[in-house]
Structure 1
Amino acid sequence: MKAFFRLVLTIIALAGALPAQADELRPGYLELTQQTQSEWKLVWKAPILGGLATRAEPLLPDFCQLKLETPRLSGPAVVATGKVSCSKPLEGATVGLKGMEPGSTDALLRVAPLGRPVQTERLIPDNSSYTVSTVPDGWQVARTYFVIGVEHILAGFDHLLFVIALVLLLQRGRPVVAAATAFTLAHSLTLAGTTLGLFGLPQAPVEATIALSIVFLAVEIVKASPGELRLSERLPWVVAFLFGLLHGFGFAGALREIGLPETDVPVALLTFNLGVEAGQLVIIAATLAVLGALARFAPTARRPAVIASTYAIGAVASFWFIERIWA
């Protein structure tokens, strides 16, 4: 029981310390797209929060010259475009960012040579450069966006708390799997549709309603009683599907912040979503394992632990909802 409380309290503490937009990823984005044999187009997006906008800048080899246009503010990021002239091919050369300090936001690097596969790399303070491959791996985009998807569900605390609350409500393998499948199908639909420009919703009300969906589940858990199944327990897959549609808009907002490679949208979208699902399965398995351990070793403590955790989750979600509607 103590271990369970420590786990939940750690998540709650981290979640409560985050700003209202807990769902959004704000990495940097550096793109080099080859125009001719010696000319490249550079796009550099640096989020205002996270240190990249004030400290980091593109790193190019000595045989390349950058002419940068005046940066502009685009939402929560500074965006700059420019032309890069290189006297030699970039293959084997090092590109990336300089000035990334410990604690800085990550950045996604995309290098798109003419007539060859796109190369992508996740830049972090400890590994902020990349050597352009002579023969690039065609699976680089897939791997990069899969990892980003996993990290998003694990670091996007509102989605994390929603999935945990769903498991706490149902507490049994088969109903949890059915609800999780419905949630996956629903947010995959809205994620794909929004990312491809088929439809969309304003991000602010979406974020507020996502917080409210967590509050709803918390209320359902607290009010649950043996022999009196509530709607969310009788038809959990319906509830999960409806809220999944909403959460898909949230995932799309995060993916929009990252950016999609123009020529690799289907692969990036698919692998990002697969990464989200992989992270979601980890959350479900871990929560069920903790509940199973409580049932075996401390059965009388299971219900009090669930209720205490639910109140903590509901309190954080309520705070997010209030903060987001006033933001």
Structure 2
Amino acid sequence: MIRFCVSALGILWLVFAVLGGGAAFADDSQPAYLEITETTPDRYKILWRAPNVAGRRSPISVAFPNAARNLTEPVEHELPDSVVERRLIETDAAGLLGKRIEIVGLTLTNIDVLVRVEFANGATSTTLVQPDQPWLVVEGPRTAWQVTWDYTVLGFEHILAGFDHLLFVLALLLIVRGTRRLLMTITAFTLAHSITLAAATLGLLWVPGPPVEATIALSILFLASELVKVNRGDPSLTASYPWLVAFSFGLLHGLGFAGALAQVGLPPHEIPLALLMFNVGVELGQVLFVVVVLALVFVLKRVRVNWPVWGRQIPAYGIGAVAAFWLIERVSGF
């Protein structure tokens, strides 16, 4: 009965993914990034990276105080997943400290913006700007508590908007039987991606992003094939050794998390704290997803439904189809 309940949730989740359009078929959870580097008290180098949304340019832009003017024209560089703009601006003698910067159009999106300000004396300040308050006042260096909050939120939102990572976890839930085995499996996945997230972020390990993203899609496709075997009653590596499979692929998913974190950067003087809290945010989001799925299973167990035998395979083939789409899309982008 539990298998049928989780299968029903798998079907519902896949329907949500399909109806969600392009956002569901890619990891479009990357925040925008604004880097402001003070060169003199009244001059700043600006780097602005806006992620593409559903394959199109994001509608957001940066509006500096009226006293600011461009010393150089913006130079744009288009990347596969974003647009990067660089320029040099000049302000009045007071500089940007204490001034308000707005992110125009942010309220029309679900994008967060990580803003990093580096002052001429080497001090840095990192702020997270969200759609419900699309502006910031440039302040001095952030406190440890502020860094903790910002990077926890980033990690939490990244995992919940990362449909590929969640689909992998859902596939594990469909395959693994028993509370103890499930806990061991999720723990192994968590431990593994924490290791590679830290190693890649600290520069101890480097793997190009596109192959990582393609292989993540392949890992989901593998679990889909394993789920087909389980539903047929055939031997399955994942069903027999779920923690081994989860740990192995978790190392890969950690590189995906590191790629997302690399795009927004870490505050130089708070790297260990920011890395830790981003990982904590990812784990909190993952736990929330698992708890919600299990809670819905608990509810569905009390609903008497005669599930057809063929219905067991719908989530497996659905997961496989989505993963195959991702794989083709990501390989073609090399």
| TM-score tier after normalising by the smaller chain length | 0.7 to 0.9
SS in structure 1 of the partner of residue 71 of structure 2: strand
Q: Contact conserved, 1:8 with 1:309, CA < 8 A, in 2? A: no
* Per-residue deviation, residues 56-115 of structure 1 (Å, max 9, x unmatched): 443222344443454141633223142443422544421232354623744222234557
Determine if the alignment matches structure 1 residue 220 to structure 2 residue 231: no
What is the aligned counterpart of 2:17 among 1, 7, 12?
A: 12
Q: Which residue of 2 aligns with 1:254?
A: 260
Label 1:117 to 1:139 Cα distance change in 2 as closer, same or farther (>3 A): farther
Report the TM-score, using the length of structure 2 for normalisation. Answer: 0.82
The residue type paired with residue 212 of structure 1 is L
Distance 2:19 2:270 in 1: 34
Q: Contact conserved, 1:12 with 1:312, CA < 8 A, in 2? A: no
Q: Which residue of 1 aligns with 2:129?
A: 122
Q: 1:19: how far off? A: 7.6
Q: Which residue of 1 aligns with 2:270?
A: 264
Distance 2:56 2:14 in 1: 31
Q: 1:5: how far off? A: 6.6
Distance 1:45 1:61 in 2: 19
SS in structure 2 of the partner of residue 31 of structure 1: strand
* Per-residue deviation, residues 257-288 of structure 1 (Å, max 9, x unmatched): 33333333322222111111111101111122
Q: 1:123: how far off? A: 3.6
* Per-residue deviation, residues 19-55 of structure 1 (Å, max 9, x unmatched): 86x2354432112234454444432223354799675
Q: Which residue of 1 aligns with 2:48?
A: 44
Distance 1:305 1:45 in 2: 44
Tell me, which stretches of 5 or more residues in structure 2 are unaligned?
none
What is the aligned counterpart of 1:29 among 20, 33, 58?
A: 33
Q: Give aligned-pair identity as a percent.
A: 42
Determine if the alignment matches structure 1 residue 287 to structure 2 residue 293: yes
What is the aligned counterpart of 2:211 among 187, 205, 212?
A: 205
| Number of residue pairs matched by the alignment | 325
Distance 2:90 2:157 in 1: 32
Q: Contact conserved, 1:29 with 1:45, CA < 8 A, in 2? A: yes
Q: Contact conserved, 2:211 with 2:331, CA < 8 A, in 1? A: yes
Q: Which residue of 2 aligns with 1:59?
A: 63
Label 1:301 to 1:96 Cα distance change in 2 as closer, same or farther (>3 A): same
More moved, 138-147 vs 36-45: 36-45
Q: 1:116: how far off? A: 5.8
SS in structure 1 of the partner of residue 268 of structure 2: coil
Distance 1:53 1:326 in 2: 20
Label 1:112 to 1:316 Cα distance change in 2 as closer, same or farther (>3 A): same
Q: Which residue of 2 aligns with 1:95?
A: 101
Q: Contact conserved, 2:231 with 2:312, CA < 8 A, in 1? A: no
SS in structure 2 of the partner of residue 264 of structure 1: helix
Label 1:245 to 1:62 Cα distance change in 2 as closer, same or farther (>3 A): same
Determine if the alignment matches structure 1 residue 109 to structure 2 residue 141: no
Q: Which residue of 2 aligns with 1:71?
A: 75
Report the TM-score, using the length of structure 1 for normalisation. Answer: 0.84
What is the aligned counterpart of 1:312 among 318, 321, 326?
A: 318
Q: Which residue of 1 aligns with 2:236?
A: 230
* Per-residue deviation, residues 6-29 of structure 1 (Å, max 9, x unmatched): 732443315663486x23544321
